[in-house]
């Protein structure tokens, strides 16, 4: 069901929309019409604010050119941002797309299960120690793993993610 209008939709039609306010976040599931409506309201806010700042800037420029020009610039930037932010296509993922991404992630994890996370961790410790030194290397590795775990990954998943990122990095060319 769409969280705004309450109508029922298939998983291919509902979009996941991240809502953040005051340090809290929530995920809403919105139909295409409600999602477009939310975008339009956001864009209209920038356009109205830009027009208001342009008006104030024009009035201030007559009385005091310095602040007036600043208001004019802020108004132009806000107006330009609002107009250019009008979405042509919806960029949020549908529930089906999110499920496909999760399946891909699970497949990647299953693919790497031939090597256990303890072996990966030991190899990462060696790499980090060789590159950064013993104490700093271990601290950087632990920070990177903890960052992954704060996003909901288990320790083995976090180690696998860090290991995969390290594998994807291009090797530094050694000078001869």
Note whether 65 and 125 are same-domain residues: no
Selected residue with higher pLDDT from 125 and 109? 125
Q: Tell me whether residue 146 is in a domain.
A: yes
Q: What range does the domain containing 54 cover?
A: 15-84
Task: Identify the domain boundary among 66, 84, 102.
Answer: 84
Residue 95 domain-assigned (yes or no): no
Helices (H), 90-154: 95-111, 117-132, 134-150
35: in domain: yes
Cα 14 from chain centroid (whole Å): 19
Dump pLDDT digits (tens) for 3-55: 888 888 887 788 887 777 777 877 888 888 888 888 888 788 888 888 898 88
Kindly indicate the confidence band of residue 60, based on its pLDDT and cuts at 50, 70 and 90. Answer: confident
Q: Is residue 106 part of a domain?
A: no
In this prediction, residue 90 has a pLDDT band, given cuts at 50, 70 and 90, of low
What's the pLDDT band for 176 if we cut at 50, 70, 90? very low
- Residue 1 placed within a domain: no
**Number of domains comprising the chain:** 2
């Amino acid at each position: 069901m769409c969280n705004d209008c309450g109508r029922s939709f298939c998983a291919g039609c509902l979009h996941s929309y991240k809502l953040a306010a005051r340090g809290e976040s929530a995920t809403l599931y919105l139909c295409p019409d409600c999602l477009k409506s939310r975008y339009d309201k956001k864009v209209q806010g920038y356009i109205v604010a830009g027009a208001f700042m342009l008006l104030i800037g024009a009035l201030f420029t007559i009385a005091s050119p310095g602040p007036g020009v600043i208001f004019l610039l802020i108004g132009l930037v806000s107006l330009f941002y609002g107009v250019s932010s009008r979405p042509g296509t919806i960029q949020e993922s549908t529930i089906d797309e999110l499920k496909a991404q999760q399946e891909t992630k699970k497949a990647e994890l299953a693919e790497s299960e031939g090597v256990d996370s303890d072996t990966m961790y030991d190899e990462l410790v060696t790499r980090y120690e060789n590159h950064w030194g013993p104490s700093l290397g271990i601290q950087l590795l632990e920070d990177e793993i903890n960052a992954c775990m704060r996003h909901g990954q288990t320790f083995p998943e976090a180690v696998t993610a860090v290991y995969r990122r390290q594998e994807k990095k291009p090797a530094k060319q050694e000078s001869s």
